[in-house]
Structure 1
Amino acid sequence: MTIRLLLADDQALVRGALAALLDLESDLTVVAEVGRGDEVVAAALEHQPDVALLDVEMPGMDGIAAAAALRDAVPTTRVLIVTTFGRPGYLRKALRAGATGFVVKDTPARQLADAVRRVHAGLRVVDPTLAADSLISGESPLTERETQVLRAAQTGAPVATIAAELFLTAGTVRNHLSSAMGKTGGTTRGESVRIANSNGWL
């Protein structure tokens, strides 16, 4: 039996390389390719793939949100996240969104093909290093509001701009930033953003 694949990655070169490698396997065939997260569900409805390989960071919709949308729209399609961004927080979010596999892009081609087969068979496949890191780093210590404030602070916008964007007072924004800095261990808000991002908390 041939396993039908959907590839979603905003980098055409990476997407093409993945398609070429996977098509070399006699039991795998790529039936659709998209470059945006918000194109995943439509492509899956049209082509009915067995497994969707999704990148995390894509325009339109990130791969984790696309995995959740796919679970609701085409529950027969299993999801394998294939990403450059091996962050523990992303792994936890992806599994909660319905993905059954999570590997990084430097996975050897043979191992990737095997991961596709295992996900198709209903097994869970997770990069072992990432799984260990996820256990060590734990869940995000940030509240939902602290997360929103740190996301807004990523652009380097002043407190007044963040406050207006989130419909908060400047004092409340400062309090949330201060709390987030304490929880992440960052000495500046920029460092806190970097730490939170590296852990996949944003």
Structure 2
Amino acid sequence: MLASSDGLEVVAELAHTDEVPVVAARERPDAVVLDHALPGSLTVPDLCEKLGVAAPRSVVLVLLDRRGGALSTALARLAPRVGVLTTDATPWQLVDSVRQLIRGEPVLDAKVAVAALTARHNPLTDREREVLRLAADGAPAKEIAAQLYLSAGTVRNYLSRVIAKTGARTRIEAIRIAQGSGWI
């Protein structure tokens, strides 16, 4: 869709967050469009920070679902270099938002702004969110531990704290609560 728009050229399509800073440093794009659900070890705010170093002249448009309240609050602080749009935006809105960011204008979707304003306070630490995000992808404690350079016992402790903080009874319920609140 973006490639067929006048004046826009797509230089790469990537499937993992870890690839984005490397390719951005090489290609030096005017804009980077990120789907919040892109798999990888980097969180969207961390990725935006890394892009600021790897490609300092690039602007970033993050596509979030409506529930991304806590995440959109963190990203709103990075405006106008980072814009936020919902994943259900029309193709025209997507193209227009990319062009707005390139012109230096802020982009913050009204639906995402409302979600950010009405989001519950996030009680989870960055590390707890990171562990829970990997657990939500189905990774067992041993695999999460290996990815994050932790012991399996430490991962289990993080998951126990997440369950307690969310008021959940199980890991699955904690994941649902955190996703529903926009914390992961």
Superposition TM-score, scaled by structure 1 size: 0.68
Inter-CA distance 47–152: structure 2 relative to 1 (3 Å threshold): closer
Pick one of 61, 71, 90 that aligns with 1:108: 90
- 1:180 equivalent in alignment to 2:165: yes
The offset of 1:105, in angstroms, is 2.6
Distance in 2, matches of 1:112 and 1:173, equals 36
Higher relative contact order (CA 8 A, sep 6+): 2
Question: Which residue is 1:52 aligned to?
Answer: 32
Out of 71, 84, 88, the position equivalent to 1:90 is 71
CA distance in 2, matches of 1:37, 1:152: 14
Q: Which has the higher strand share?
A: 1
Q: 1:70·1:77 contact (CA, 8 Å) conserved in 2?
A: yes
Per-residue deviation, 1:49 = 0.8
* CA spacing shift, 1:77–1:63, aligned 2, 3 Å: farther
Q: Could you tell me whether the CA contact under 8 Å between 2:48 and 2:82 is conserved in 1? A: no
**In structure 2, how many angstroms separate the alpha carbons of the residues matched to 1:55 and 1:145?**
21
Which has the higher mean CA deviation after the structures are superposed, 40-49 or 111-120?
40-49
Read off the aligned partner of 1:49 and give its amino acid letter: P
Change (3 A) 1:33 1:133: same
- Return the letter of the residue paired with 1:129: K
Name structure 2 gaps, 5 residues minimum: 146-150
Structure-2 separation of matches of 1:50 and 1:42 = 15
Structure 1 counterpart of 2:20, one-letter code: V
The number of aligned residues is 175
Alignment of 1:116-127 (within 5 A): 116-127=98-109
AA aligned opposite 1:87: G
Residues 119-147 of structure 1, C-alpha deviation per residue, up to 9 Å, x if partnerless? 11222212211210110114313355765
For the residue of structure 2 that corresponds to 1:167, the secondary structure is helix
Structure 1 pair 90–180 and aligned structure 2 pair: CA distance change class (3 A): same
Q: Percent identity?
A: 30
CA–CA distance in structure 2, aligned partners of residues 120 and 45 of structure 1: 17
Distance change (3 Å), C-alpha of 1:25 and 1:192: same
- Could you say what the CA RMSD is over the residues aligned between the two structures, in angstroms? 3.5
Name the CA distance, whole Å, in 2 between partners of 1:59 and 1:169: 22
Q: What is the match of residue 30 of structure 1?
A: 10
Structure exhibiting the larger radius of gyration computed from Cα positions: 1
Does residue 1:80 correspond to 2:69, yes or no? no
Distance, in Å, in 1 between the alignment partners of 2:43 and 2:128 is: 23
2:154 alignment counterpart: 167
- The aligned residue for residue 9 of structure 1 is none
Name the CA distance, whole Å, in 2 between partners of 1:24 and 1:123. Answer: 23
Which runs of no fewer than 5 residues in structure 1 stay unpaired?
Answer: 1-20
TM-score, structure 2 normalization: 0.73
